[in-house]
Amino acid sequence: MTTVDLSFPILGDRVPRDHGYPLYAALSRAVPSLHGAEWLAVHPLGGTQVDATTLQLGARSQMRLRLPAERIVEVLPLAGARLDISGAKIALGAPSVHPLVPAASLDARLVAIKLTDAPRRRNDELRRDALDTPGFADRYTAEIKRQLAAIGIGGAFELRGRRSVTVDGRRVVGYSVRVLSLGADQSVALQEKGIGGKRRMGCGVFRGTRGP
């Protein structure tokens, strides 16, 4: 099974900075079979941060889906689709296919790891001070290490800043993660499988490191 990135050009202006859940909801409205599709991962949209809540799209902004090549036909109806992302309107162009390229260092904007003993609110949302509680980072790191080992990766990784995404009204918190010193096979495996949850909402989706 070959995994690829399918990239759709975007025509649009601004979208919410916290767009993972509403983007996936919009995709599922356009193609209902995507709802609950375990084989799908959605990259976070790229752009320039305007303020704390808004992202400015650029002329070359793309929406990228990571999926098995044999599933491409299922998402082709997205070409030409108009999506409503929490009130922000975008249109998608004709897609292009990109193979996964090995890179020695990979980044994920947010890896969502559910720790059962983390302090939570009554709605199961992590408390805002959860990442500050003693041992949280250590338990998070241990779980990242375990999940990487499960796909044959035992090298170094870094937590590179706190991140959050809102999913169905609940705040999911974690860290940006960089995985280092990867061999070619390891790099492709991590891009294919990812780690953590919420991959359809932009979490745990790895791509080659850009910049420092």
Give the model confidence (pLDDT) of 123-169 as tens digits. Answer: 555 555 566 666 778 889 999 999 999 999 998 999 998 899 999 88
Residues 125, 193, single domain; the answer is yes
- Positive or negative: CA dihedral 87, 109, 58, 74: negative
- Domain span at residue 90? 3-99
Residues 39, 90, single domain; the answer is yes
Distance CA 94, CA 31 (A): 16
Does residue 118 contact residue 128 with C-beta atoms inside 8 Å? no
Give the model confidence (pLDDT) of 1-54 as tens digits. Answer: 799 999 999 999 999 999 999 999 999 999 999 999 999 999 999 999 999 999
Distance CA 30, CA 172 (A): 25
Residues 82, 131, single domain; the answer is no
Residues 111, 199, single domain; the answer is yes
| Distance in Å from the first CA to the final CA of the chain | 33
Residues 32, 75, single domain; the answer is yes
Residues 165, 73, single domain; the answer is no
The reply to whether the predicted model has a pTM over 0.75 is yes
Residues 17, 89, single domain; the answer is yes
Give the model confidence (pLDDT) of 77-112 as tens digits. Answer: 999 999 999 999 999 999 999 999 999 999 999 999
Residues 128, 202, single domain; the answer is yes
Question: What is residue 138's predicted lDDT score, i.e. its pLDDT?
Answer: 87
CATH, residue 52: 3.30.70.1890
Burial class (CB in 10 A: 0-12, 13-18, 19+), 209: middle
CATH, residue 154: 3.30.70
Give the residue among 205, 171, 181 at the shortest CA–CA distance from 67: 205
The total domain count for the chain is: 2
The residue from 73, 99, 125 where one domain ends is 99
Give the model confidence (pLDDT) of 153-211 as tens digits. Answer: 998 999 998 899 999 888 888 999 999 999 999 999 999 999 999 999 999 999 999 87
Residues 201, 117, single domain; the answer is yes
> To which H or E segment does residue 56 belong?
strand 54-56
Residues 185, 200, single domain; the answer is yes
